[in-house]
Each structure stands twice: as structure tokens, then as C-alpha cells.
Structure 1
Amino acid sequence: MLIALPGSHARLGDTLAEAWSNLRSQGRRSALALLGIMIGTASIIAMLNSGHMAQRESLKLFAKLGVDMLHVQAAPTGDRPALLSQAMIDALPRADPDVVEAIPFASNRAIARAGSKTENLAILGAPPALAALAKLRLAAGRHPTAIEDCALSAVLGDAAARALSAPAAAIGPGSKVLVGGYGYTVVGVLAPSTPETLDPVDYNMAVLISLGCSGRIIPGGGPTGLLVRLRPGADTAGAGERITARLTTPDAKLTVLDARSILRTMQEQKAVHSRMLIGIGAVSLLVGGIGVMNVMLMSVMERQREIGLRAATGATPTDIRLLFLVEAVLLTVAGGAIGSAFGAAIAWAIAHSSSWDFDLAPWTLALGPAAASGMGLIFGLYPAITASRLNPIEALRAD
């Protein structure tokens, strides 16, 4: 019910209270208009936060190594093994100003045996410096040292150690493991780790041995790839081209995995999907705004006599416009606030189902009510102007 406001200008608190009372009196009609705003806002908030969390998860793929990294892998071009020059790899930090560190490695797969347990594991031959570069943490024991370059010492991944352990004989430092016909002494067991894009192998299911005499169980006996740490901010693509040109041999074709390029591609793909879904949410919000305008126009038509009474008792067109505009904004802000809460809940469900860490972008929670209030101003303006232009005499005669 429209109430005449004292004076020519109403206090904002009175206007808000009256607007809320009018919206409540419209019952289901207001609720349906609010629902459209709520759905649109929830869609946008959910998609923005899903994109935010997906970006954080993408960064986790390079958490250990960082983004200033290259993974260079050699593939054979013929029947001969694809071996790289150890001397040229060692010279890279001196030859290229962007290279901070270059760690060679060789990898293969082999059957490992401990007692009655056997498992097909990844075999990685690498110098001791790899453990520091890849931040490989130990659950037990130690990493091999430089003087063990040709010793039969090995470090097992967490899952590999468990796979080779018998119920009453857990594999740990001091245990013997047969790999490729050679008996290796386990000197350490790695703590569980999350596989990353640039890892040469899944360390959890791997046997790490020294590179020096890795030819015992890895064909070729030399490096077949390398991890390169670049200076921060270096041109990774340019560095990759220079390293490829320097290390390529007639027997090896080099492939370079660039952390920054991989991350950029992943983020671009996610951005395309997010924009598409946000566009769908924006259409829903637009439809909700049109619903609000329809509700407000119907309200103007039904309340003509009350509008005429207000005008006859001294209310100005500005007072009338303000009341209807406040009603529209109040309706959309309420829908935006509820929609933001629902959007956050949807984002949590997406994170939970994807095994992501739930992390809301704080600015998105303010975006929902702000966007909704903007829709209220846009779509409430026409009904408000229509109400303010009614002729008081004709409005008082309305049934």
C-alpha cells in the first residue's frame, strides 16, 4: 500500500521501508522476479570463482619446479639411442645467459623385485642435484651423494616402496631391490608427492639411481633429457630454441616443454570456457531484469489511484520516481545477494567434485549485488518515470 510521504522529499529510510512493504505485498510476483536475478547472479559468481580456482590449480602443476623451467626430451630418429652430450649440457649455464642450471637425466622402465614382490617401475638416472631442483622430500633415509655415482644405490618413491613391501617386511633404507638383474641397496624413500607437468617421471612410482652407471639398466648409458632452470623473467621460448639448436644431434630429435607456454595455453582455454558460461549467466541476468521491469510496470498500473493520492497531497514527481526506483533496486539487490550465496555454494560443489582447494575470489561476492543493483537502476528507471508522469486527476479516477 502506497503511503503519502511527509514533505516534498522523503527520507531514505522511510522510502526503503515503504518500498520493502510494497514488494512484500506483491508476494509471488516479486519472488518470481527475484528468482530470475538470483539465477543469473548465481551463474556468474559460480563461473568466475570456478575459473579463479582452476587458475590456482593450474599453478599447482608447477609448484615444485616453478614456471621458469624447460623440460627437454630427446627422441631417437633411427635405430640408435637418442643420447645427448653430457659435456654440452654441463656447459649450458656458461654458454647461455638465461640458463641458471641444467640437470641431465635418463629414464626407462624395468621390473623391480623385492622378495616375492615384483612391480614394473619407472627408472630415472640423474645426478644428486635433481633432488634439490625438484624439491624431492624424503620420508626415510637419504639421497645418494656424488661419490656414489657408480654405486648400486637407489631411492624409491613412496608408492614404489609400498608396492614392493611384504606385510612383515617393509621396504626402507638398507633393503635390497633387484632391478634389471642388478641388486640395488635402498638408501632412501621419498615422501609422497603430487606429479607435475614437467616431471621426467612420476616420482611416487619410480626408482632413482645415479646417472653415471645407469647404462646397466637404461639403454645407451647417457642422458636422454634434461631439466633447465632459467633466470626469472627469461624468454622461455627463445631459450628453448637456443638449447635445441645447441644439443640436437643426427640421432636425436628434441622436444621442449615450456612451463610458461603450457600454463598460458591452459589459462586461455579456461578463459574461453569461463567467458562462454558467464555470457549465459549474463543473459539470465538480463532476462531477470526484464522480469523486474514487467513487475514494476504492472505495479504502476495497479497503484494509479494511490499515485494520484500521493501527488494530490504534495508528493513531487521526483518522490514518486524515487520510490519506484528504490523498489526495483531493492528487489534486484536482494536477488543479487541471495544469488551470490548460491553461486559460492555452487563453486564449492565444483571444487569438491574436482578435488580442488576451495578458494573464493573476494571481489566476486561484491560483484553480484553490484551488478544486480545496476540492473535494478536500468530496468526500474522506465517504470519509475512512467509512474511520475501520471496525471494526478486521471490517476485518482482509476479503479
Structure 2
Amino acid sequence: MSRATDRRTGLTRLSPATLGPRDVLHVGSAGLRSRPMRVVLSALGIAIGIATMIAVVGISASSKAQLLEKLDALGTNMLVATPGQSMFGDDVKLPKGSPGMLGRIAGVEQVGATGDLDQSVRRTEKIPKEETGGITVKAADDGLLRTLRGTMASGAWLNAANDRSPSVVLGHVSAQRLGITGAGQQVYIGGRYFTVIGIIDPLPLAPEIERSALLGWTAASNLLAFDGHPTSLYERSTDASVHDVRDLIPRTVDPENPHNVQVTDPSSALQAKAETEGAFTNLLLGLGGVALLVGGVGVANTMIISVLERRHEIGLRRSMGATRGQIRLQFVTESLLLSGLGGIAGLVLGATATYVFAASGGMPWVVPPWAVGGGFGATLLIGTLAGLYPAVRAARLSPTLALQAV
């Protein structure tokens, strides 16, 4: 208590002493220090809720970052032109010279082409022709791998030296299904054996190539009667000219029937996947929010019990001049400290879980700052709400009744 003299009456008036921040922390943490086990159990619910929310957001952000890194590496400037159907519903073919015409469009930097062959690929002639294993046979030009930004897992790509020979390059899925582990082995296509000269690494932007057996353009024409009409044209253009090139492709590839040419963007699937990465996250965030609310209820319950157990302490402080506001501040501070401890533990656990998941999957470790700030802010809000009722109840206790309860 502090003393003040009333100027009009000359009487000494007592007024309650103010509590500084250090005093508030001291009295607010007194209940926590005296009951450490109860503090740990109460903070555990908050920690679980925050850890769940941080881990869910962090794992989702790490997965999205990995997809975006993959998109950056693969590029979003590739377009694919394929034949559609005529106005009468008949299948059409792209002109034989369409790869060269496509390459003359301003802004186009690389062009690759494939042509479908009505053949199956098998390990030996003893395997029935109908058992294709979902593998298609295609003719491919030497610019395809460069346009797709692909790499070879083993062996070599098609070139001028092997374009005329019975050589084949397999996508990595095709190699797995055929049981081919490296170059030098043979597969059976169109009544003769072809030597495998290479296996391609995965191609996320061209999954159809992963499930194909690729022959040289000339070898396909000479050995398997390929008609020379491409069925897929792949092109890379400068980033600034992608939209203009997309509009020009149909009129350039087939000037007489541009409506017969379909143009697609294979990177759009990865972009859509990156954008919808958080769709399932919302459900898990809801579960984390429920856990956080349950933790808040646990904190409120702990604080109510603390008020009941410490009625003598409250009465003693009130009888020594503590105001109701100071009592409320004491217990709200105690609730905030209790929730804050759980929140800090939850942030550490959630970030650690995200790191373990990202490291095991080869992903970048990403924990968005807004998730950390929002999670800790939610913790403090829950702590304030959980401590309000017990604090008000403690402040309403009469000093005499509180002291008589001992």
C-alpha cells in the first residue's frame, strides 16, 4: 500500500500499490512453480494442438515447395501439339513436315516429335502379342530428349549413328515392366529383336514417354513401316512468348485445318497439384484446432482448481490491499504463461516433425512464418479466454470468506 494526503481534508489516504511487469510475472508464475507436474499435464494439451497445426502446415508447405522447385527445373514453357478429330469425327494426322514448320515460329527454341506405331514390345517372341504391359512403341527424333529436358539413367539417346539401326530407348516405367536393367539387352518388336541402347530417367511432364519404347525415326520407317506422320509435337519457347506461340501452333502446323490441332500445357497438372496441395490440409488443421480447444479447456479447468486451492492466498493478498483488478491480472497472467509454455513446446515439436518428414522425403524444410505467428497467437488467445472466468471468480472472493475457508 502507498500513502497519499488529501489536500482538502488533510487526512492520509491509503491507495493500492501498482504492479510493474516484473511483479506481474512473479505473482503470475508463483502457482506454476508450486505445481510443476500439473503445469506439464495442462500444457501438454496445448502443445499437442499447436504441434499438429504447425506440422500439418509445414508438411504441406514443404510438399508445395518441392513441387514448385520441380516446376522451376522442368519449366512451364513447354507445349504439346497433338492431332484432334475432324468436324465429322474422323481421326486426323499431322503433316509430315510439321516439326520443321513448328520450329520456324518466332520464340520457339526447341522441337521434338514422336509418332505412334501399331506394334507391341515384349522380351521374347514367346510372349503373346496381346500382353503389351501398357507399353507403347513410338518413333522419336533426336531433339525429343533435349526438348523434354530429360536425362539418361543409363546408356545413350538416339542419334544419327543409331537412327537407322534396330536400336531402342526405353522409358523408366517401360524398363521396369520389361525387366530391363541396362543397355545391351534385347526386346522383341515387330517380328525382330531390337537392342536397348539406353533408359530414360523419369519425365514428370511427359508420362507417356515413360511408358514407351522409342525407336529412331528412320529405323521406324525402314523396319516397321512407319508412315512418317508425327502424333505428338513437343516445343520449348521463351517464357515471354508462350501465349503467342500457343495461338500460332494450330495455324502453323496445319494451315488448312488448324481446328484439327490440339495444344496442351503439360505443366498445368503440376501447377494445379501445387495449388491444391492445401485442400486436405484444411481438414487436418481443423483436427489440430479441436485439439487446441481441448487443451484450452484443460487450462481453464486447471485454473479453476487452482483458484479453489488457493483461496487462503487470495484472501491474504486481498486483506493486505491487493485490488480485484490485481487478482484478475495475476490469474490471467498465470493462464497465459501456462498456455505460452505449451505453445512454445508445440512449435518446437511441430517444426521438428516437419523437419523429419521433409528430410526423409528429400523435400525442402519449410515452416511458414505466418503459421508460427498464428499458432502462438492462437495459444495466447486460448490462454486469455481460459483464464478469464477463473480470474473473475478469484477476484470476487471476499477476503474474510477466503481466510475462513482454511
Corresponding residue of 1:3 = none
Residue number among 34, 40, 50 corresponding to 2:59 in the alignment: 50
For the aligned residue pairs, the C-alpha RMSD in angstroms reads: 4.3
Matched ranges for 1:79-98 at <5 A: 82-95=92-105, 97=107
2:147 counterpart (107, 128, 133)? 133
State the one-letter code of the partner of 1:334: L
What's the counterpart of residue 269 of structure 1? 276
Q: What SS class does the counterpart of residue 36 from structure 1 fall into?
A: helix
Q: Distance in 1 between matches of 2:171 and 2:351?
A: 38
1:179 corresponds to: 189
Give the distance between the partners of 2:186 and 2:144, measured in 1 at CA: 23
Between the aligned partners of 2:317 and 2:96, the Cα distance in structure 1 is 91
Greater gyration radius: 2
Please, what TM-score do these two structures have when normalized by structure 1? Answer: 0.74
Unaligned runs of 5+ in 2: 1-16
Q: Equivalents in 2 of 1:292, 1:20: separation in Å?
A: 14
Change (3 A) 1:278 1:164: closer
Q: Distance in 1 between matches of 2:92 and 2:111?
A: 18
Distance 1:69 1:19 in 2: 62
* 2:79 alignment counterpart: 70
Any idea what the Cα deviations from partners look like across 1:170-205, whole Å, max 9, x if unmatched?
A: 8635x665422355454x3236x2341434321xx5
1:111 aligns with 2:118: no
1:223-269 per-position Cα deviation (integer Å, ceiling 9, x unaligned) = 10122223226565x75455346546869955544245323432343
What letter matches 2:295 in structure 1? G
**CA apart distance, 1:37:** 1.9
| DSSP 3-state at the match of 1:270 | coil
Tell me which residue corresponds to 1:122: 136
The answer as to 2:156 corresponding to 1:142 is yes
Change (3 A) 1:95 1:131: closer
1:41 Cα offset (Å): 1.5
Q: CA separation of 1:165/1:262 partners in 2, compared to 1, >3 Å: closer, same or farther?
A: closer
The alpha carbon displacement at 1:105 in A equals 1.5
- Do the aligned residues in 1 keep the contact of 2:307 with 2:394 (CA within 8 Å)? yes
Give distance in 2, aligned partners of 1:185 and 1:131.
19
Q: Structure 1 132/298 Cα, relative in aligned 2: closer, same or farther at 3 Å? A: same
Could you tell me which runs of 5 or more consecutive residues in structure 1 were left unpaired when the two chains were aligned.
1-6
* TM superposition shift of 1:65: 2.8
What residue number does 2:14 align with?
Answer: none
Distance 1:352 1:28 in 2: 34
Per-residue CA distance 1:299-320 (angstroms, 9 max, x = gap): 3344333123123335455543
How much does 1:84 deviate? 1.5
Match of 1:101 among 100, 103, 110: 110
One of 214, 218, 228 as aligned partner of 2:220: 214
SS of the residue corresponding to residue 95 of structure 1 reads coil
Aligned AA (1:201): I
* Partner secondary structure for residue 61 of structure 2: helix
